[in-house]
Structure 1
Amino acid sequence: MNRHLYTLLLHLLLPIIVLRLFWRAWRAPAYGRRIGERFAFGLPPMRQGGIWVHAVSLGESIAAAPLIRELLARYPHLPITVTSMTPTGSERIQALFGERIQHCYLPYDLPWACTRFFRHVQPRLAVIMETELWPNHIHQCAKHGVPAALANARLSERSARGYARFHKLTAPMLADLSLIAAQTHVEAERFRQLGARDSCVQVTGSIKFDLSVDAELPRRATALRQEWSATERPVWIAASTHAGEDEVVLAAHRRLLADYPQALLILVPRHPERFVAVFDLCQREGFSTVRRSRGDAVTAQTTVLLGDTLGELLFLYALADLAFVGGSLVENGGHNLLEPAALGKPLLSGPHLFNFLEIAAQLSAANDLLEVSDAEMLYQHLANLFGEPDRAQQMAAGGLAVLQANQGSLERLLVGLERLLARE
């Protein structure tokens, strides 16, 4: 399939795309706002001639934050435009940067919408986070001679097989990229085999290793645990959970309470539209649950704190002693393991980590990652770690060592982007 056939199919599917958008708006009202932007109508006023950064959703927005900060510092004369495609990503970007950046949703990959968006922004450089590749948007960049970079690029074996099935579409798209800053040598080779120009592929590592934690964060967490009278309570977090994982987590927590009656679980669903359903699940299962969004006090009787707020995940990690990272008991590919590692938390996850294979391998080699496949295994590891604090500290130290050994990716990426801007 080439780009023209892809575009025809996209137009034929447009009614389904619109229906799906309204269905998502029904489930999560935030999707019903600013719909025009998704078709490049009603875009906010923007200064032109700057750097456009695309971070599709919440995870990519968090990963992109250090890059955006550096771009703002290094190029104060250039407007920075940040696009996303989900309300959570949009809210996170606006909360972090406010009026320091320009922001809108990225329009769907329809040629007429791409053209309107490109004329509105007229960037000097496009930076796309991770693997969010859209053929018509990238074609617009190539058509106007604007260098496009894929930053923090990752490509799992499964995704590479999917790209290969549509070689006539994906190979020209990858060849149009001016820089692919791959996280690993294996992923760099996958991009080359799929059609990326060899001279444009570099291994820079993952900028997620360059995470810096505000020193005030652990102090705030300690103060809040003191306020809860929970400094001696065993506290663990299950973060970024998906449908099908919450039941496993709660079953493990029920077992843990038999050994540690004062144990507290901080449960953080990945998607806001699931907050109410997960709260109802906790109550049906008989757990004394409070919602973080309501500011309810955590008492000695509270067994579950539902983390139903946005932009607080790092703080919630800081509150816990141990961290389970979700999206890994189901075949989602996992989520960022480095955030809790940077806060010195021993890590647990499910076996499905294909989006973070290299990071997971390094953390496992440093003895800071335990994989579990069910509630019983999760309970056993939690109970063992709470019973062996020295081992938990050793695990945490191993994770911090991995983080420190891999830092520097952001600077390597910025050097590559500076080269593209100078060439432009």
Structure 2
Amino acid sequence: MKARSLTVTLRLYRGASAAAALLTPAWLSYRAGKGKEDRERLPERRGIASAERPEGPLVWVHGASVGEVNCVMPLIERLVARRFNVLLTSGTLTSSKVAARRAPPGVIHQFMPLDAGAFVSRFLDHWKPDLVLLAESELWPNLLYDLGRRGTPVVLVNGRLSPKSAERWSRLSRSARALLSRIDLCLAQSEEDGARFHALGAPRVEVCGNLKFDVPAPAADPIALGALASAIGARPVLLAASTHAGEEVLAMATHKALRKELKDLLTIVAPRHPERGEEIAELAEEAGLRTARRSADALPAPDTDIYVADTIGEMGLLYRCAPVVFMGGSMVEHGGQNPIEAAKLGAVVLHGPHVWNFGAIYARFDADGGALPVADIKDLARLTFVMLRDKARRERVAAGARVSVAALGGALERTLAAIEPYLVHIRLQHR
């Protein structure tokens, strides 16, 4: 994307982001005070590296948040096994903790610099990546401009573009084409995603499938699992997973609607953003529900109604303890959350109507009987009751999910095959 190819919109963006960069220190300090940034690593957000660049070929892999970091981890593991240096960046505090726990030895994690020209240039001057792999839909104008100016190859892996995002980009069609023309290769999750990228101007598009299907089921600490399972005992459990504001109230209302028939029901609420734990616990108490918080090292007592799982990296533990899972982000207009991990661990997945972020996945799950849509709180309460009471039906739904997961796997090998020419080229460059 050469300077002369920039549209008026992109030129305005570059100017506005340069001006906004002046306010960055104050804004980052505010976010750190809210627990949304690592205060010790704030310079990284301005492109100031906290580690040295290793010698030899360097592949930069970027995943915005927890979901993207998890999905690229098997790809990173394969790159490390082939002795490529890997720089992993992400944009959230939670994802940095996932990277610290899951990344192979030798992988360097940095926070993604904010998309201001000076920050991006400083970052690239230091790291000098030979290949850039951006996960899903990370199309930052200043970053792509600078990478294009340097001639660095960029591949979009696990590319995803929802209908709503595609519609928004179509209103800026010239800018979208200018940005996507800088992507050397777009590896889309589905035929629908690929068609949307192609329509907006991506020059090379291949459909490789969704890397999330090739990620192993999340692990669980055996001691923690034993302690939580023992505390729960034989109680029926509903897990409201990755919830967003408004959905916790729905989970609590569902709990109250069911506790006449399921007197010992335990509802676990695992918010998408764990820092909301205190807020959720207060909502439960206001609703007259007894609560406990995992971040306070509490386990559910026999009379606990709502167990707030406001910790990081424990979804594998929670899915193993909950036969029925309501996936959040789907009863509010967020676009849904990833159901694959829950399905891999045998949980029945219930979801609301707003699942466009994972539309193809939910469509396949629903078609195979591996997930159940709910329209409102009455639906959610009814299906939760049926699934918790009817073990045979629960097992049929779980079996349908396994069919979906098996059919949609293989994206990792197809992605590796697609980027192989780039890996060979950069290896030859460093001989």
Normalising by structure 2, we get a TM-score of 0.91
In the alignment of these two chains, the number of paired residues is 418
| SS in structure 1 of the partner of residue 201 of structure 2 | coil
| SS in structure 2 of the partner of residue 336 of structure 1 | coil
Moved more, 201-210 or 17-26: 17-26
CA distance in 2, matches of 1:387, 1:329: 24
C-alpha contact (below 8 Å) 2:355/2:362 kept by paired residues: yes
C-alpha contact (below 8 Å) 1:124/1:421 kept by paired residues: no
CA distance in 1, matches of 2:416, 2:112: 23
CA distance in 2, matches of 1:103, 1:222: 29
- What is the correspondence of 1:246-395 to structure 2 with a 5 Å cutoff? 246-395=248-397
- What is the correspondence of 1:127-276 to structure 2 with a 5 Å cutoff? 127-197=133-203, 200-213=204-217, 217=220, 223-224=226-227, 226-228=229-231, 230-276=232-278
Paired residue type of 2:48: F
Q: Does residue 100 in structure 1 map to residue 106 in structure 2? A: yes
Q: What is the CA-CA distance between 1:4 and the residue it aligns to?
A: 2.5
Give the match for residue 33 of structure 2: 26
C-alpha contact (below 8 Å) 1:209/1:409 kept by paired residues: yes
Q: What is the CA-CA distance between 1:98 and the residue it aligns to?
A: 6.6
Paired residue type of 1:210: D
Give the match for residue 57 of structure 1: 65
| SS in structure 1 of the partner of residue 260 of structure 2 | helix
Moved more, 308-317 or 35-44: 35-44
CA distance in 1, matches of 2:72, 2:280: 29
Unaligned runs of 5+ in 1: none
CA distance in 1, matches of 2:248, 2:39: 27
Moved more, 23-32 or 146-155: 23-32
Paired residue type of 2:111: Y
Q: What is the CA-CA distance between 1:165 and the residue it aligns to?
A: 2.0
Give the match for residue 413 of structure 1: 415
Q: What is the CA-CA distance between 1:22 and the residue it aligns to?
A: 4.1
CA distance in 2, matches of 1:268, 1:407: 27
Give the match for residue 75 of structure 2: 67
CA distance in 1, matches of 2:24, 2:374: 37
Paired residue type of 2:11: H
| SS in structure 1 of the partner of residue 187 of structure 2 | strand
CA distance in 2, matches of 1:31, 1:327: 26
CA distance in 2, matches of 1:19, 1:379: 45
- Give % identity: 33
Give the match for residue 3 of structure 2: none
Paired residue type of 1:329: M
Give the match for residue 38 of structure 1: 45
CA deviation vs aligned residue, 1:227-285 (integer Å, no higher than 9, x gap): 22x34211121011111111011000111111111111111011122111112212222
Q: What is the CA-CA distance between 1:163 and the residue it aligns to?
A: 1.4
C-alpha contact (below 8 Å) 2:156/2:187 kept by paired residues: yes
| SS in structure 2 of the partner of residue 208 of structure 1 | helix
1:91 pairs with one of 97, 100, 105: 97
Across the aligned residues of Structure 1 and Structure 2, the Cα RMSD in angstroms comes to 2.0
| SS in structure 2 of the partner of residue 341 of structure 1 | helix
- What is the correspondence of 1:109-120 to structure 2 with a 5 Å cutoff? 109-120=115-126
| SS in structure 2 of the partner of residue 132 of structure 1 | coil
Q: What is the CA-CA distance between 1:224 and the residue it aligns to?
A: 3.6
C-alpha contact (below 8 Å) 2:64/2:91 kept by paired residues: yes
Paired residue type of 2:258: L
Paired residue type of 1:59: G
C-alpha contact (below 8 Å) 1:28/1:272 kept by paired residues: no
Paired residue type of 1:57: S
CA distance in 2, matches of 1:345, 1:83: 31
| SS in structure 2 of the partner of residue 356 of structure 1 | helix
Normalising by structure 1, we get a TM-score of 0.93
Q: What is the CA-CA distance between 1:31 and the residue it aligns to?
A: 5.0
CA distance in 2, matches of 1:222, 1:117: 41
Q: What is the CA-CA distance between 1:21 and the residue it aligns to?
A: 3.7
Moved more, 137-146 or 320-329: 137-146
Paired residue type of 1:202: E
Paired residue type of 1:7: R
| SS in structure 2 of the partner of residue 301 of structure 1 | coil
C-alpha contact (below 8 Å) 1:31/1:86 kept by paired residues: no
Structure 1: 4+ residue segments shifted above 4 A: 15-20, 216-222
